[in-house]
Amino acid sequence: MTTATQPDHTVLGLETSCDETAASVVRRHADGRVEVLSSVIASQVAEHAPFGGVVPEIAARAHVESIDSIAARAMAEAGLGYGDLTGVAATAGPGLVGGVMVGLSFGKAVALARGLPLVAVNHLEGHAVSARLGADLPYRFLLLLVSGGHCQLLDVAGVGACRRLGSTIDDAAGEAFDKIAKTLGLPYPGGPALEKLAEGGDPARFPLPRMLLGRKDCDFSFSGLKTAAARIAEGLTSEVDRRDLAAAVQAAIASQLAEKSDRALQIYAREHQGRDLRFVVAGGVAANRLVRARLTETAAARGFSFHAPPLAYCTDNAAMIALAGAERLALGLTDPLDAPARPRWPLDAAAAAASPTHVPGRKGAKA
Rounded-to-integer distance, Cα 33 and Cα 38, Å: 16
H and E: helices and strands count for the chain: 11, 10
Q: How many CA atoms are closer than 13 Å to the CA of 43, on its beta-carbon side?
A: 9
Residues in the chain: 367
Widest CA span in the chain: 64
Residue with smaller CB distance to Zn ion, 177 or 206: 177
| Minimum distance, C-beta of residue 325 to ligand KG4, in the bound complex (Å) | 17
Q: How far is the CB of 178 from ligand KG4 (least distance, A)?
A: 5
**How far is CA 334 from each of CA 34, 91, 116, rounded to the nearest angstrom?**
19, 13, 10
Neighbours of 240 (CB within 10 A): 13
Closest CB 175 distance from ligand KG4, rounded Å: 6
Nearer to ligand KG4, 18 or 318 (CB): 18
Binding site for Zn ion (CB under 5 A): 147, 316
Cβ neighbourhood burial of 114 (10 Å; 0-12, 13-18, 19+): middle
Which residues, other chains included, contact 328 with Cβ-Cβ below 8 Å and sequence gap of 6+?
89, 119, 121, 159, 160, 334
Nearer to Zn ion, 277 or 295 (CB): 295
DSSP states of 297-362: HHHHHTT-EEE---GGGTSS-SHHHHHHHHHHHHTT--B-TTPPP-S---SSHHHHHH---S---T
Q: Which is nearer to Zn ion, 125 or 316 (CB)?
A: 316
**Among 244, 229, 237, which residue's Cα sits nearest to residue 197?**
244
Q: 17 or 298: whose CB is closer to ligand KG4?
A: 17
CB under 8 Å to 265, separation ≥6 — which residues? Answer: 142, 277, 279, 298, 299, 302, 304
CB burial of residue 291 (10 Å; 0-12, 13-18, 19+)? buried
| Binds 315: which of ligand KG4, Zn ion, none (CB < 5-8 Å by kind) | ligand KG4
The CB-of-90 to ligand KG4 minimum distance in angstroms stands at: 15
Q: Which residues 6+ apart lie within 8 Å of 154 measured at CB?
A: 128, 142, 143, 145, 162, 163, 164, 165, 347, 348
Footprint of ligand KG4 (CB under 6 A): 18, 147-149, 174, 177-178, 189-192, 195, 283-285, 287-288, 315-316
CB nearer to ligand KG4: give 38 or 288. Answer: 288
From Zn ion, ligand KG4, none, which one binds at residue 192 (CB under 5 to 8 Å depending on kind)? ligand KG4
Q: Are 283 and 160 in contact (CB under 8 A)?
A: no
Tell me whether residue 93 or residue 117 sits nearer to ligand KG4 (CB atom). Answer: 93
**Which residues does residue 24 pair with via DSSP β-bridges, in sequence order?**
13, 39
Nearest to 141 by CA among 273, 280, 261: 280
Q: Which is nearer to ligand KG4, 85 or 125 (CB)?
A: 125
